[in-house]
A and B are shown apart, each in its own frame.
Chain A
């Protein structure tokens, strides 16, 4: 099993450009998440999904959109990138939720720089 994979690994954008980050998991997990991590800080949840066709906002959703058209994929979109979105983005997936005795599996991250 590949686990959780993320594409691309690195990207540099100019302010105002758009892009989509792809997350894929092969563990048949229902739940998927997008986090961002800024230097010296912990991870913050951007959006999450509790199943195919569903999405919900996390704690820092502004400037991002997501889609979960297939169970194994979770896409994170930046419509008009801003320098404040320079960060490392991590995708995660899980069978259930942390409050109910289950772990999250994380991808290797996408390093995004917005100039």
Chain B
């Protein structure tokens, strides 16, 4: 998988927007950017993914830079339940790649 770099931890105030950055400077033109999160002791949860255009769903927005070398996950109104480890993943394209490579992610702590 293309290497991703994320900050180890971030804090956010409840009700404010949480902006989680990810660098993926070696991404190829047809590789997607995925975001998952893992709340303590639970299974990972899919959040959003995108290729080139910005994406939005009921959970979050994904902003991908024009050169695709970085992206930002935005939780528009963070709540205490959004405290989790957030993983930015770029699965390798081509061939038969079935693997999601989970790095260490960003621990987001939402404070009251």
Spell out A's residues near B (CB within 8 Å).
Answer: 4, 31, 33, 40-43, 45, 48, 50, 56, 58-59, 90, 92, 97-99, 101, 103-109
Contact = CB atoms under 8 A, between A and B. Distances in A.
Interface of B: 31-32, 34, 41-46, 49, 51, 87, 89, 91-94, 96-105
B106 to A, nearest CB: 12
Secondary structure dominating the interface of B: loop
Contacts of B97: 97-99
B44 A90 contact: yes
A97 B96 contact: yes
B99 A42 contact: no
Contacts of A103: 34, 46, 49
Sorted nearest first, the 9 A-B pairs with minimum C-beta distance are: A42-B102, A106-B43, A98-B91, A103-B46, A43-B102, A99-B93, A99-B97, A106-B44, A99-B91
A98 B87 CA distance: 14
Nearest to B44: A106
Nearest to B94: A99
A97 B98 contact: yes
